[in-house]
């Protein structure tokens, strides 16, 4: 069974990201990205959390709550739905200039969660083509941050996919497919 890329499964929080000079919306996007990357492996914090800002503490708290509420998905089927560039040149070095998307499907229900990371990619929009869904089933796609993306068939999501727009580098979204 596939696993998420090593850049995420071996990830842990050790510091708050430096968001100095960024606009408030971009600060929040970068902080969410940092709080979400450990969600694909054991969620580990290795630092003095009392040094975090109240904003980052709240975002990490929300990420941990989401992780706990959606743990069943993280134990389901795993699909690396974008070409993973995290193993550049057959090494474990990350390639931050590309998007990553990892899909987790609960095989008992057929619903999914898709973790989408823009990283430092120049493009602000990426088509995410899903896998492992029921072709004839109708799915609602909801972004945790962006809200409703609409209703699609499994066939549509697995052939055409869904366009995700992330305005900032080092930002992320979680798609709930139900």
The whole-number pLDDT of residue 86 equals: 45
Q: Report the alpha-carbon distance of residue 93 to residue 7 in Å, rounded.
A: 8
For 115-137, the three-class secondary structure string (H helix, E strand, C coil) is EEECCCCCCCEEEECCCCCCCCC
pLDDT in tens, 22-45: 999 999 999 998 888 777 777 788
Fold held by 76-177? Immunoglobulin-like (2.60.40)
The whole-number pLDDT of residue 11 equals: 66
Spatial neighbors of 95 by CB under 8 A, at least 6 apart, are: 85, 86, 88
Instruction: Provide the total of helices (H) and of strands (E) in the chain, helices listed first.
Output: 5, 8
pLDDT in tens, 55-79: 999 999 999 899 889 888 888 888 9
Beta bridge partners of 20: none
Domain borders along the chain are: 6-69, 76-177
Question: Rounded mean pLDDT of the chain?
Answer: 85
Q: SS3 of 13, please?
A: strand
**pLDDT mean over 148-152:** 97
The whole-number pLDDT of residue 91 equals: 40
What's the predicted TM-score (pTM) here? 0.87
């Amino acid at each position: 069974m596939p696993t998420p890329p090593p850049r995420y499964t071996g990830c842990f929080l050790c510091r708050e990201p430096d968001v100095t000079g960024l606009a408030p919306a971009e600060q929040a996007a970068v902080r969410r990205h940092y709080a979400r990357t450990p969600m694909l492996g054991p969620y580990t914090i290795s630092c003095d959390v009392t040094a975090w800002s109240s904003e980052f503490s709240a975002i990490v708290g929300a990420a941990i709550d989401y992780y706990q509420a959606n743990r069943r998905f993280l134990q389901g089927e795993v699909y690396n739905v974008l070409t993973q560039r995290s193993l550049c040149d057959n090494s474990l070095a990350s390639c931050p200039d590309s998007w990553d998307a990892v899909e987790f499907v609960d095989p008992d229900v057929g619903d999914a969660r898709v973790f989408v990371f823009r990283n430092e990619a120049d493009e602000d929009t990426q088509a995410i083509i899903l896998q492992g869904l029921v072709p004839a089933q109708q799915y609602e796609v909801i972004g945790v941050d962006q809200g409703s993306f609409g209703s699609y068939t499994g066939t549509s999501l697995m052939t055409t996919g869904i366009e995700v727009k992330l305005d900032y580098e080092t930002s992320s979204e979680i798609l709930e497919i139900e």
